[in-house]
């Protein structure tokens, strides 16, 4: 799968998502609530459990990287962030929406390969998009496996799926029947897409939790985008998930051994970043 270019980075005005992608919900502030005149409960705040780690150190290390742009500073910022999150185990445990969303994404891919795309779309209630342009099909799939939610954690997971599907779309042809190409994906390709989705989630979550440090720096928008691109590329190169001999194409990733695999992959991802 392709990765962001860490040398040039996106330029000013470059969209973060392609035009076809359903936009992720904006991240509301913790005290954001619905109109009190409307019925229904207030919007829940961000529910990523905060660990008792050194968040000040994590923010300071990220600020240092924003200043000098050195790989050594980025490694230290990554280690500090994971440790502040309670280590690899704590970060994995609190990635609730991330693990669920990746499980659904992996299940969709494995079903498309082993049972066929049309049957998979039928099971998702998406018969209406069969034969439509690929962009429309992908947008409908994203809405099913990563629906918008009231929580920031859900928005983070959704953004990770959208980014991964955008890269997948780039690798497929633009014909109406291109969706059928998913049936030719092999085990290694599916594992690569799951790894990429996990990496995208880790990046989006880190950026949301500590990214305000970058916004508060007196630096240009272009430099911020280049820094974010570098961080994303660094995470993608560091995260190497070991699927061992797990039959990911013929297993239920939503429960049992499949769900435990996804949990382990998340912990491996954070372990890799904690030890870089």
Stretch 181-202: mean pLDDT, rounded? 95
152 assigned to some structural domain: yes
> 29 lies in a domain?
no
Asked, for residue 36, whether it belongs to a domain, the answer is no
d(CA 274, CA 268): 10
Residue 75's pLDDT band (cuts 50, 70, 90): very high
Where is pLDDT greater, at 54 or 122? 122
Angle formed at CA 123 by CA 120 and CA 125, multiple of 5 degrees: 115
For 139-185, write each residue's pLDDT tens digit: 999 999 999 888 899 999 999 999 999 999 888 865 656 788 899 99
Do the domain assignments include residue 5? no
Given 3-state DSSP classes, what are the helix, strand and coil percentages for the chain, each rounded to the nearest 5?
65, 0, 35
Q: Quick one: DSSP state of residue 20?
A: T
Query: What does the pLDDT read at residue 262?
Result: 96
pLDDT of amino acid 151: 87
Residue 26 lies in a domain: no
Highest mean pLDDT among 53-57, 66-70, 232-236: 232-236
Q: List the Cα angle 203/94/84 in 5-degree steps.
A: 70
The predicted-structure confidence for 83-103, as pLDDT tens digits, reads as follows: 999 999 999 999 999 999 999
Domain count, the chain: 1
Q: Which residue has the tokens 């007196």?
A: 218
State the pLDDT at residue 19: 57
The pLDDT value recorded for residue 66 is: 84
Give the span between the Cα atoms of 140 and 251, in whole angstroms. 24
Global pTM value: 0.80
The answer as to whether 39 is a domain residue is no
Six-digit token pair at 205? Answer: 């979550």
pLDDT of residue 180: 87
Q: Tell me, what's the pLDDT at 223?
A: 80
| pLDDT bracket for residue 131 (50, 70, 90) | confident
> What pLDDT is recorded for position 21?
59
Judged against a pLDDT cut of 50, whether residue 28 lies above it is answered with no
In the chain, what percentage of residues exceed pLDDT 70? 78
pLDDT at 121 over 80: yes
Mean pLDDT of the chain: 81
Tell me if 1 is assigned to some domain: no
Q: Are 247 and 253 in contact (CB under 8 A)?
A: no
Is residue 196 assigned to a domain? yes
Question: How far apart, in whole angstroms, are the C-alpha atoms of residue 208 and residue 85?
Answer: 13
Residues 271 and 238: their CA atoms lie apart, in Å, by 10
Q: Please tell me the predicted confidence (pLDDT) of residue 179.
A: 86
The pLDDT of residue 228 is 87
How confident is the model at residue 176, as a pLDDT?
57
pLDDT tops 60 at residue 4? no
Q: pLDDT value at position 40? A: 39
Domain residues for the domain of 224 are 55-274
């Amino acid at each position: 799968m392709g990765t962001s270019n860490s040398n040039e980075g996106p330029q000013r005005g470059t969209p973060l998502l392609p035009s076809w992608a359903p936009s992720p919900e904006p991240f509301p502030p913790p005290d954001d609530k619905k109109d009190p005149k409307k019925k229904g409960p207030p919007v829940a705040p961000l529910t990523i459990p905060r660990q008792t780690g050194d968040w000040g150190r994590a923010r300071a290390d990220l600020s240092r990287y924003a200043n000098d742009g050195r790989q050594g500073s980025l490694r230290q910022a990554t280690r500090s962030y994971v440790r502040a999150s309670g280590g690899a185990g704590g970060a994995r445990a609190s990635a609730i929406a991330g693990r669920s969303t990746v499980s659904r994404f992996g299940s969709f891919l494995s079903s498309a390969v082993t049972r066929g795309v049309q049957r998979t779309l039928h099971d998702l209630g998406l018969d209406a998009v069969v034969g439509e342009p690929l962009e429309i099909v992908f947008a409908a799939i994203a809405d099913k496996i990563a629906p918008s939610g009231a929580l920031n954690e859900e928005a983070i997971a959704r953004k990770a799926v959208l980014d991964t599907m955008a890269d997948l779309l780039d690798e497929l042809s633009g014909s109406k029947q291109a969706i059928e190409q998913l049936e030719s994906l092999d085990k290694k390709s599916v594992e690569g897409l799951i790894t990429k989705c996990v990496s995208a989630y880790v990046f989006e979550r880190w950026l949301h939790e500590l990214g305000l440090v970058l916004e508060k720096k007196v630096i240009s928008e272009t430099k911020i985008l280049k820094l974010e691109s570098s961080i994303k590329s660094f995470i993608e190169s560091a995260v190497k998930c070991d699927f061992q001999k797990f039959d990911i194409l013929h297993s239920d990733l939503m429960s049992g051994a499949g769900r435990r695999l996804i949990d382990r992959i998340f912990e491996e991802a954070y372990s890799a970043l904690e030890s870089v």
